[in-house]
Amino acid sequence: MNVLIVTNNPHLPQQYGGSEVSINDLALEFKDFGVDVRVLCGLNNKGLVYYRNRFLARITGNAFPADSRLGYISYRGWSAAGAISKGVANLIKKYKADLIIVQGAGVIKLARELVVFNVPIIVSIVDVEDPNINGDAPVADNIVYRANSSFTAGRVFKKYGITCKVIPPLIRLNKYLTKTVEKYVTFVNPHPYKGCDLVLDLARRNAHIPFIIQEAWPLTADYKNRLMSVISGIPNIQYREPVVDMKSLYAVTKILLVPSQYEEAWGRVVNEAQISGIPVIASNRGGLPEAVGDGGLVIEYDAPVEIWSEALNSFWSDQELYRDYSTKASNRLKSGELSGEFLVKSYLSAYESIRSCCSGK
């Protein structure tokens, strides 16, 4: 079987976000199932990947040159003005895709462009705040919609009247599973709408607890300078620059804080931590409660800092309570509806539901 994953976004290693990491993990899991999986993606104009790609494009005349640096073939090129759909049209002439999975920015517009190819398409919607999710969603026999949470599915139904079954993000256990020394409370991605101010307040109030603030998405120089100035006055905070391998972070984490003020479609970082038995304390925004499940605590996003501090100290000090939630967290992705096998089979089941509509499929 041949699966083509299509995204307007640049892909790893050019862009590291939840969607890109999820696409990579899904592609590798498909490969483990014996599927010939490829990714066609956007490109940004930075780094060695860009220069190599543009050199190959110039000498071959191919707008989407291939590379295999990630363990599967990726085709990278400009994503503006319908270029991605043109890239798909050229690619499927020689790579006979049985299934196209569309994910990332502007999936609805991209789905409208791809539906004409008479190939089964799964539109995977993973971000309810994407400003490029607009226009009429295509309805056709060869297309189905999937969302990464019930929360996202609800938003899609409200906007388009389309029912989405839920397929949560696929997270590969061996990529994140580690033994942890349970030393720090960790907060990832210190943007204001991720709850950074609350975390800073919690650190001030709990000088006996060491914190790590892990940078993820790029910060403006002005914001980072102001943040570092504040952190310099809170001695129990250690600030870390972005890393590719999150396993080293989870190896020292005891509790993960996700106090997002933003309506998260899911919350991938929650499950990355839970794999290693790290309980999570998260806000109730968006799909976060679904991601946390029974492997942590969910608190009203606008609850007073005292409520958050009480929950944090209960996990930090009560070993019996901590072990109970740690065990529940570690079991979340090992079997059932969050396991890699189940999620791949969910995609294949969606494919089977529409394959008969496409000639020759």
Give the pLDDT band (50/70/90) at residue 361.
Answer: very low
* CATH at residue 192: 3.40.50.2000
pLDDT in tens, 63-116: 999 999 999 999 999 887 789 999 999 898 888 899 999 999 889 889 999 999
More confident residue, 296 or 118: 296
Tokens of 300: 């009203």
Give the pLDDT band (50/70/90) at residue 131.
Answer: low
Tokens of 59: 């000498």
Give the pLDDT band (50/70/90) at residue 134.
Answer: low
What is the distance between the alpha carbons of residues 221 and 226, in angstroms, rounded to a whole number? Answer: 9
| Predicted pLDDT at 22 | 94
How many domains does the structure of the chain reveal?
A: 2
Same structural domain, 291 and 309:
yes
Same structural domain, 70 and 217:
no
pLDDT in tens, 273-313: 999 999 999 999 999 999 999 999 999 999 999 999 999 99
Q: Are the beta carbons of 315 and 255 closer than 8 angstroms?
A: yes
Phi then psi for residue 133, to 5 deg, are -85, 90
What is the distance between the alpha carbons of residues 276 and 247, in angstroms, rounded to a whole number? Answer: 9
Q: Are the beta carbons of 260 and 128 closer than 8 angstroms?
A: no
Q: Are the beta carbons of 256 and 281 closer than 8 angstroms?
A: yes
Residues shown for the chain = 361
Give the pLDDT band (50/70/90) at residue 177.
Answer: very high
Pairing of strands 73-76, 66-67: antiparallel
Same structural domain, 326 and 345:
no
Q: Residue 360 pLDDT more than 70? A: no
For the chain, the first-to-last Cα distance in angstroms comes to 11
- Residue 346 CA, chain-centre distance (Å), reads 18
| Predicted pLDDT at 145 | 95
pLDDT in tens, 242-270: 988 899 999 999 999 999 999 999 999 99
Same structural domain, 68 and 131:
yes
Same structural domain, 16 and 108:
yes
Same structural domain, 177 and 167:
no
Same structural domain, 311 and 346:
no
Same structural domain, 93 and 137:
yes
Range with the poorest average pLDDT among 37-41, 165-169, 215-219: 215-219
Same structural domain, 350 and 300:
no
Same structural domain, 234 and 352:
no
Q: Residue 17 pLDDT more than 70? A: yes
What is the distance between the alpha carbons of residues 247 and 260, in angstroms, rounded to a whole number? Answer: 22
Q: Residue 335 pLDDT more than 80? A: no
b/e per residue, 55-91, with b = 16+ CB within 10 A? ebbeeeebebbbeeeeebbbbbbbbeeebbbebbeeb
Q: Residue 57 pLDDT more than 60? A: yes
30, 175, 278 from 72: Cα distances, Å: 10, 17, 31
Identify any residues that bridge with 103 across adjacent strands, giving them in sequence order: 124
Q: Average the pLDDT over 318-328 and give the result.
A: 97
Residues 6+ positions from 113 with CB-CB distance below 8 Å:
82, 84, 85
Domain interval for residue 192: 173-332
Give me the DSSP letters along 108-121. HHHHHHHGGG-S-E
Same structural domain, 166 and 177:
no
Q: Are the beta carbons of 284 and 311 closer than 8 angstroms?
A: no
3, 93, 203, 305, 326 from 318: Cα distances, Å: 48, 61, 19, 20, 12
Same structural domain, 325 and 186:
yes
